[in-house]
Structure 1
Amino acid sequence: MNKRDRRVQRVLQITLVLNLVVMIMKLAVSWYSGSLSLFVDALHSMTDSFNNILGLAANHAAAAEPDREHPYGHQKFEALGALAIAAFLGITCLEIVRGAIDRIIHGSKPVQMSESVLWVMLAVLGINILVVLYERNVGKRTKSQILLADAADTMSDIWVTMVVIIGLVGVWMGYQWLDVVLAFPVGVLVLKSGWEILRSNLPWLVDEMAIDPKHIHRHAMSVAGVAGCHDITSRGLLGRQAFIEMRLVVTATDVDSAHKIVKKVENRLKAHYQPVRIAISIEPLGYCIDNNAYS
């Protein structure tokens, strides 16, 4: 495991401990108060803990070097982990709606409120804010999708907690119905977070184009000895691991000279898109192509 992956693992371990603390605090307060919205918030925090465990497993799998069975590496395990987080959020949203409808139909006991409940929730909010800032900062530096996805999940937890706190203040003022009503916008916030994670990771899993072919063509044509390039494709995730394939028309008439030109093109592309793996097929000078296709 390289330095980057060890750092991601350490962040996930720290946030797992913090999320477990937050979950226990919310469960204790929700049991004391009998608040539905607070219990839903605790359920959301429980998914955060599961997500951290899932992230640790996914990051460990993604850190493995390419092997015979996985010649392109294991980086997609990170994206799979992020999609599982989105699935957890979807399940949480369904539980929120189900619980709210059940209380509307069958009713429930009045929510018990006190100053200690609000102070605990404010402490929880502060912990979550620190977790988001920490994970997002490290996630951007390491370009870890699992950290960014987990930060987005915890960010949704912050909004949920803020809504719950507002509802609890309302309940304290005598508006008991707020506890059930606010469960619905909480569900919307959770669903929105899951959708954003899904949208950001699907392109990687379905091999969507990672780099505009025009940009690759421009870099390749700037190398001396290149007469043209075509059939340019790319996939992966730019900044994490990209793959480029192309056919290159060179002016060289011998293999050694052609190989040197190819190496220059590879170095030029690596300078702009590293980490990247490049596969180039060489075409003879007489090969007819339309360079205007990438203009």
Structure 2
Amino acid sequence: MASHDHSHHDPHDHAGQGHSHGHDHGHSHDHAPTVTADSVRRVRLAMILTAGFMLAEVVGGWISGSLALLADAGHMFSDSFSLGLALFAFYMGDKAPDRFRTFGYQRFQVLAAFVNGLTLLAIAVWIVIAAIQRFTQPVEVLAGPMMVVAVLGLLVNIVVFRILHGGDQENLNLRGALLHVIGDLLGSVAAIVASVVILITGWTPIDPLLSMLAATLILRAAWKILGRSAHTLLEGTPEGVDVGQIRQALLDVEGVKSLHDIHVWGLTPQDPLLSAHLVIESPALHDGVIERAYAMLQSRFGIQHATLQVETRDCLTGGECNHGMIVHP
């Protein structure tokens, strides 16, 4: 058989002779990382604590008139959303693909992260506008209630940090949530500093000043979330993946004469997928080339799912034949 047509559109479909490599060579289809019951329990508890105290900070900020508390509540909203997203990712990782969604539901977490980033952007802009208004039209801030809520917020964040830090640090969702909580700790400290300054000096502009600092932290988080999620939604090359190195490694596989139409993208930022056309010297080399290519992709680059189309002459089945050396992110 001169060529084996491996579909680019449904890499999960390995039916028929042309796709036999998928299971014969230990090619794993499990995109989702292993999640322990302990990790799920820790993330659920952290989300409940964070979301609950976020509501308390909103009420406390409203009563005390503290913009810094409201800004910290905005950051805790980000934490709650991220923790909820992690829980959702754990749940969706066990949900099987169906005939309408052959990749399953994992991409939904990327879409949710993009919406989260837009929400955070709106919150940060609102805080900045409100802070500017506070500078021109100061309002009374009740430093006592503000300090009580801020100190309680700090304690809650410390508890959440300890809960998450005791979990599986190899899990990317857990590590990401932990970084969010560290940022929220800084927001609570800023609110405490503002309340102390107001209690001692009565200088209320410290409240909108520190709230703008918190808004900067929220903007930074929003920008990173939007950038990463948009990159994934646009089928961008996953972080840490060098397409040039992968191309050369495939060319170095024994029996591969040339290659073209190489594409590397991600179902999620942590789940790289690859498709490429390999040109071999003779049909007899097909099985050996497939065996070596998949083993190399898994061991060297951690790519657990690839679709390799094998041909015996350049562009036998079409493709971007005149752009063989162009790297497609």
Work out whether residues 147 and 191 of structure 2, in 8 Å CA contact, stay in contact via their aligned partners in 1: no
Deviation readout 1:94-116 (Å, 9 max, x if unpaired)? 332343345445542342427xx
The match for 2:11 is none
Instruction: Select 1:224's aligned residue among 250, 254, 267.
Output: 254
Tell me whether 178-187 or 201-210 shows the greater mean CA deviation.
178-187
Give the helix-richer structure, 1 or 2: 1
Q: 1:71 to 1:238 in 2, by over 3 A?
A: closer
Give the match for residue 68 of structure 2: 37
Verify the 8 A CA contact 2:82 2:177 in the aligned structure 1. yes
Residue 204 of structure 1: aligned partner? 232
Q: Are residue 128 (structure 1) and residue 143 (structure 2) matched? A: no
Contact 2:138 2:205 in 1 (8 A): no
Q: Cα distance 1:271–1:25, how it changes in 2: closer, same or farther (>3 A)?
A: same
TM-aligned CA deviation for residue 285 of structure 1: 5.8
**Partner of residue 200 from structure 2, selected from 151, 168, 173:** 173
Contact conserved, 1:13 with 1:56, CA < 8 A, in 2?
A: yes
1:36-115 aligned at under 5 Å gives the runs 36-57=67-88, 59-104=90-135, 106-113=137-144
| Aligned with residue 281 of structure 1, among 302, 309, 322 | 309
Question: Do 1:228 and 1:248's aligned partners in 2 also have CA atoms closer than 8 Å?
Answer: yes
Aligned to 1:240: 270
Query: What SS does the aligned partner of 1:232 have?
Result: strand
SS, match of residue 14 in structure 1: helix
Structure 1 gaps of 5+ residues are none
Cα distance between partner residues in 1 of 2:39 and 2:109:
11
1:162 and 1:262, CA in 2 relative to 1: closer, same or farther beyond 3 A? same
Deviation for aligned residue 1:50? 4.5
Deviation at 1:25, TM superposition (A): 5.1
- TM-score (normalised: structure 1): 0.79
Say if 1:195 and 1:204 are closer, same or farther in 2 by CA, change over 3 A: same
Give the TM-score normalised by structure 2.
Answer: 0.72
Q: In structure 2, do the counterparts of structure 1 residues 279 and 286 end up closer, same or farther at CA, with 3 Å as the change threshold?
A: closer
Contact 1:5 1:63 in 2 (8 A): no
Residue 299 of structure 2 aligns to a residue whose secondary structure is: helix
* Structure-1 separation of matches of 2:256 and 2:85: 47
Paired with 1:140 and 1:33, the residues of 2 have a C-alpha distance of 38
For 2:300 and 2:94, how far apart are their aligned partners in 1? Answer: 23
Unaligned runs of 5+ in 2: 1-31
Listed one character per residue, the Cα deviations across residues 225-260 of structure 1 (whole Å, up to 9, x for unaligned) are: 222322221111687321111111223343xx4123
Cα RMSD of the aligned pairs, angstroms, is: 3.7
**CA displacement 1:28-66 (0-9 Å, x = unmatched):** 654664433223323443453355345434543354233
Shift in alpha-carbon separation, 1:285–1:41, aligned structure 2, 3 A: closer
TM-aligned CA deviation for residue 19 of structure 1: 0.5
Relative contact order (C-alpha < 8 Å, sep 6+): which is higher?
2
Task: Measure how far apart 1:150 and its partner are.
Answer: 3.7
Inter-CA distance 224–275: structure 2 relative to 1 (3 Å threshold)? closer
Out of 151-160 and 191-200, give the one that drifted further. 151-160
**8 Å Cα contact 2:281/2:312 also seen in 1:** yes
The answer to whether 1:250 aligns with 2:277 is no
Post-superposition Cα deviations, 1:77-110, rounded to whole Å, max 9, x if no partner, equal 2222222322232232133234334544554234
Between the two proteins, the alignment pairs up a number of residues equal to 289
